A and B are shown apart, each in its own frame.
Chain A
Amino acid sequence: MQATAHIEFIVAAYAAGVVVIVALIGWVMLDYRLQRRILAELETKGISRRAARESADE
């Protein structure tokens, strides 16, 4: 296959796509883990939501 003209721009564009998508997925996943961890910490301190307590009784 002959050398594709401007291949560096095509590669850069797809690399940008990969970076953006991976960053979004990473942000969403890390934020989820962070919030779950904070909620678990607050749980162990004995603070809980009224709704959670009620649904545990259901």
Chain B
Amino acid sequence: MRISELANPSRFVRAANLVMPWLSGAAAIVFAFALYRAMLAPDDYQQGATVKIMFLHVPSAWLGMLCWALMTVAALGTLVWCHPLADVTAKAAAPLGAAFTLLCLVTGSLWGRPEWGTYWVWDARLTSELILFLLYLGVIALWRTVEDPSRAARAVAILTLVGAIDLPIIKFSVDWWNTLHQGASVFRLGGSTIDPTILIPLLLMAAAFTLLFVTLLLAAMRNEILRRRVRTLRLLQASAAG
């Protein structure tokens, strides 16, 4: 079965039903292993044990951005190719991305209090991440405000494309502005600067989070397809009764 054949919603639901138990099992196993390695990781020379918050904070930040990037691709799918599953993907992904971005803000705030002495500071990276969270909320609000799913999808697609400009701002904010948040240490030219004893658990947690995200996304997409069936049936029911 080719990927393009999955564009049929019913086929997608059947494929998702098959794949999801394995994915969720894999996510659980990787999470267990990653948490185990995270607990074993050494304390930071300056920060002490609070560096362990990083194992939550950084993967959720990555996922929050990855999710918007996925929504951007879906937006193109809706606007350019009218792909049937593009709308479903975009709508299902939005709450997940919002949740991970919120987790990033909350864990970052809890890390910042012992680190810098304050729960929040209006520097470039934190502000642009907060803007991303507000953009997510705006997209979710837009999905809920427009009645017709296909019209909603087009409106959301445009908002998603415009909002995508926040992603490079977040990424490069620590380079472009003088910020309190630390600079890039994983994805940079010249390789990572983090010690492997901390880098490995971090990457493991990122993998666990990603597996969780994919599982949740497939489940949410399945729910959205079912929701649209319900809507169609209800419209049929209403027009038959009338």
Using a CB–CB distance below 8 Å, which chain A residues touch chain B? Answer: 4-7, 9-10, 12-14, 16-17, 20-21, 23-25, 27-29, 31-32, 35-36, 38-39, 42, 45, 47-49, 51, 55
Tell me if B68 counts as interface (CB < 8 A to partner A): no
Q: Which 5 pairs show the lowest CB-CB distances between chains A and B?
A: A35-B226, A6-B114, A28-B219, A13-B53, A13-B110
- Are B237 and A13 in contact, CB atoms less than 8 angstroms apart? no
Tell me if B95 counts as interface (CB < 8 A to partner A): yes
Interface residues of B in 87-113 (CB under 8 A from A): 95-96, 99-100, 102-103, 106-107, 110-111, 113
Using a CB–CB distance below 8 Å, which chain B residues touch chain A? Answer: 10, 48-50, 52-53, 56-57, 60, 95-96, 99-100, 102-103, 106-107, 110-111, 113-114, 212, 216, 219-220, 222-223, 226-227, 229-230, 232-234, 236-237, 240
Q: Which residues of B contact A24 (CB under 8 A)?
A: 95-96, 99, 216
Total of A-B residue pairs, C-beta within 8 Å: 90
Question: B212 contacts which of A21, A27, A35, A47 (Cβ < 8 Å)?
Answer: A21
> Please, which residue of chain A has its CB at the minimum distance from the CB of B108?
A13
Q: Which residues of B contact A12 (CB under 8 A)?
A: 110
Q: In the bound complex, what is the Cα–Cα distance between A47 and B241 (angstroms)?
A: 11
| Given A20-B102, A24-B99, A35 contacting B49 (CB threshold 8 A) | no
| Given A16-B106, A23-B99, A49-B229, A9 contacting B223 (CB threshold 8 A) | no
Apart from A9-B111, A10-B53, A13-B111, list 13 A-B contacts with CB within 8 A.
A9-B53, A10-B52, A16-B56, A17-B56, A17-B60, A24-B99, A25-B216, A31-B220, A32-B222, A36-B226, A42-B234, A47-B240, A51-B10
> Please, which residue of chain A has its CB at the minimum distance from the CB of B218?
A28
Question: A6 contacts which of B10, B50, B219 (Cβ < 8 Å)?
Answer: B50
- Are B220 and A28 in contact, CB atoms less than 8 angstroms apart? yes
- Are B95 and A4 in contact, CB atoms less than 8 angstroms apart? no
- Are A32 and B237 in contact, CB atoms less than 8 angstroms apart? no
Question: A49 contacts which of B106, B107, B219, B232 (Cβ < 8 Å)?
Answer: B232
Q: List 6 A-B contacts (CB under 8 A).
A: A14-B53, A17-B56, A32-B226, A36-B226, A42-B237, A47-B233
Q: In the bound complex, what is the Cα–Cα distance between A24 and B219 (angstroms)?
A: 11
Q: Which residues of A contact B107 (CB under 8 A)?
A: 13, 16-17
Q: Which residues of A contact B222 (CB under 8 A)?
A: 32
